[in-house]
Amino acid sequence: MRNLFVPLLLLSLAACGSAPKRYSPPVVDQSGAPPVTDALPQGEPLGQTAPAPRPAAGGSAVVALLDQAQARMRAGDPDAAAAVLERALRIEPRNARLWSQLAWVRLRQGLPAQAEQTALKSNALARADYRLQAANWRIIAKARWAQNDADRAVAAERRARDFEERGLREPARVQ
Partner 1 sequence: MARKKRKPGRRRSNGRRKARRFNIPWIKVALAAATLMAGYVAFLDFQVYRQFEGKRWSLPARVYARPLELYTGRRLAPAQFADELKALGYRFVGRPRRPGEVARNGSRFHLISRPFRFWDGQEPSHDLVVKFSAWGVERLRTGDDGRDVALARLDPMEIGSIHTARQEDRILLQLAEVPPLLVKALIAVEDRNFYNHHGVSPRAIARAMWANLRAGGVVQGGSTLTQQLVKNFFLTSQRSLWRKFNEAVMSLLLELRYDKDEILEAYINEIYLAQDGQRAIHGFGLGSRFYFQRPVGELTTAQLALLVGMVKGPSYYNPRRHPERALQRRNLVLRIMREQGIISRAQEQQARHEGLGLVGSVEGTSKTFPAFLDLVRRQLRRDYRESDLTSEGLKIFTTLDPQLQWALQKSLGDRIRAFSRTQPDLQGAALVTSAASGEVLALAGGREAGFAGFNRALDARRQVGSLIKPAVYLTALEQPHRYTLASLIDDGPLEIESGGELWQPENYDHQFHGRVLLYQGLAHSYNVASARLGLELGVEQVIRTLRRLGVSRPLRPYPSLFLGAAELSPLEVTQFYQTFASGGFHTPLRSIRAVLDADGQPLQRYPLTVQRVIEPAPALLITRALQLVVEEGTARSLASRFTADAGLAGKTGTTDDLRDSWYAGFDGERLAVVWLGRDDNQPMGLSGASGALQVWAALFRRTGVSALVPAAPETIEWHAVDRAGGGLADAGCGNTVQLPFVTGSVLPGPAACAGPGGWIRRLLR
Amino acid present at 163: F
Does the footprint of partner 1 cover residue 61 (CB under 8 A)? yes
Does the footprint of partner 1 cover residue 58 (CB under 8 A)? yes
Does the footprint of partner 1 cover residue 118 (CB under 8 A)? yes
Judged by beta carbon, residue 23 or residue 169, the one nearer partner 1 is 23
Does the footprint of partner 1 cover residue 33 (CB under 8 A)? yes
Rounded Cα distance, 9 and 21, in Å? 19
Does the footprint of partner 1 cover residue 25 (CB under 8 A)? yes
Name the residues that contact partner 1, by CB under 8 A.
Answer: 22-28, 30, 33, 35-43, 46-47, 51-52, 54-61, 63-65, 79-80, 82-84, 86-87, 89-91, 93-94, 102, 114, 117-118, 120-121, 123-127
